[in-house]
Amino acid sequence: MALKIRVYFVVLACVLQYIGIEAQSSKSVPLPTGGESCNVINLHCGAGQSQPNEGELERNPGSPGKRGPTGPAGLAGSKGDQGMKGVKGETGPEVNVTKLQTKIMKMLGAKSCKELNEIHGMTEPGYYLIRSEGRNQPNYVYCDFRVYEGVTNCNGLLERGVRFKSDEIANFLTRRNQAAAIEEISCSNIFTTCHELRQRNTTITSGFYTLHSPTNHQNTFRAYCEFTRGKAITEVRHAQMEEIQSTQSSCSRNKGCYSWIPRYNLNREQIIGIIKQSSECRQFIKARCVETFLLRSGYAWWVSRDGERMNYWGGATSRRDEYCACGETGTCINNSYKCNCDTNSATQGTDEGYLTDKTKLPVKELRFGDLDDSIEFIWHTLGKLECWGEA
C-alpha cells in the first residue's frame, strides 16, 4: 500500500510540471519493496532532461570567453547592372546673340554701380567693370548694391561695421533718408593723398605712409604726411632742402647763367597726381643776396614744372613780373624796386615767401645771374612741396 502511494505522488508531480504549476527537474524517490528496506528509483520529469552529475546543481555559469579573431574578408560582389538613361530634356529657347551682345556692351559702359542696379537690374554683389568719369579705361569695382539708410560717407559705413579689403575699391548705395534719392559713395583702402588717409583715421600720427597714384593704383610710393598743424598735408621732398650758396664758376654777368635743379623723391606723375587731388599747394622759396640783382632786369627766375620761365618770387600774390613779397606790401628796402635784393647793395638783403599756383608747381629749376665778381653772392633755399585738402 505504501508503495502505491509513493508512486502516485511521483506521477502527480510530473503531471503538475507538465501543466506549468511546479515540478522539480530530477528527484530520487524511495519505493519500499517489503519489510524495512527500500530500493531507489530515479524518475525524470520533463522531456529531454539529463541527470546532472554530483555537485553540478550548485555551480554558477562562468562569463563568456574572449571572442576569437576575425576571419578574412569575403570576395567583392559582382558589378551591378547599368541604370537606365534619363529622358532627354527639351531644347531651350534660341538665344538672340546680337541682343545679348548689345546688353553686355551697355553694361560695360556703365559708370556706376547705381547705373548697373537701376538700368541693368544687377543686384548680386560682386566685382564689375566700371568706367570712371573722364577716363575711358574701366576698373574692377566691388558693387555692394544694398542701400544703406542714413549713411553719407565712408566713415558712416565703418560705424555700421562694413569693412573694405586692402587695395579694394568698393561702391555703396546710400540714402540720407527714405524720402531722398539713392546716392553712391566710393570707399577703399587706396589713398592718393594724406587728406584721404586722415578722413579714414582721425587719430593717425605724422609720418611716412604708402600712397597710390590716382591714375594707376598699382603704382605706389612713400610720402610724408603732416597732421600736426590742423591739416592733412602731403609733403613732397627733394634731396637738398637746406640753404645752398650759388657758385661763381663759369657764371659772368649773363642772366640766369647759374642753374640749380632739385631732385624730388617722387616722379612727375606722382607729384602732379597729388597736386590735382588737393585743393591747395605751396612751396617755399628764399634768396639772400649781396651785391647782386634778383629779378631786376631779368637776371634771375624760377622754372615751372612745364618748363615755363616765371619772373615773380615767393610771396608775390599778384604774380606780377619782378615782384617779391615786399613789393606787394610796399616794405622793400628801396621801394623803387619790388624786391629787397634788387637794390644791389653791399648790405645783405632777403626775399622769401610761398609759391601757390598749383598749375606751375613744383619748381623745376632755379636760375641766377650777376655773379661774376668775388663780392657778389646769392644763397638760395627751396622748400618741400606741401599739398592739402580735397580738390
Pairing of strands 377-388, 280-290: antiparallel
| Domains in the chain: ranges and CATH | 107-188 (no CATH), 241-388 (2.60.120)
**Paired residues of 284 in beta bridges:** 354
Grid coordinates representing 371 are: 655773379
Closest CA to 362 of 249, 274, 248: 274
Query: Which residue do the cell numbers 538613361 mark?
Result: 85
More confident residue, 200 or 150: 150
Q: What is the pLDDT of residues 221-259, one digit of tens each?
A: 889 999 988 889 999 999 999 999 986 655 666 788 889
Query: Does residue 109 have a pLDDT over 70?
Result: yes
Burial 323-359 (b: 16+ CB within 10 A, else e): bbbbbbeeebbeeebbbbbbbbeeeebebbbbbbebe
CA distance 285 to 226: 20
Judging by DSSP bridges, how do beta strands 377-388 and 244-245 pair with one another? Answer: antiparallel
- pLDDT tens for each residue of 175-215: 988 888 999 888 777 788 899 888 877 888 999 988 888 77
Q: How far apart are CA 44 and CA 50, in angstroms?
A: 8
363 neighbors 262 (Cβ within 8 angstroms): yes
Work out the average pLDDT over 130-134: 69
Q: How confident is the model at residue 28 (pLDDT cuts 50, 70, 90)?
A: very low
Average pLDDT over residues 91-103: 72
Residue type, 381: T
CA 14 from chain centre, in angstroms, equals 95
The answer, yes or no, to whether residue 261 has pLDDT greater than 70, is yes
CA dist 305 and 241 (Å) reads 18
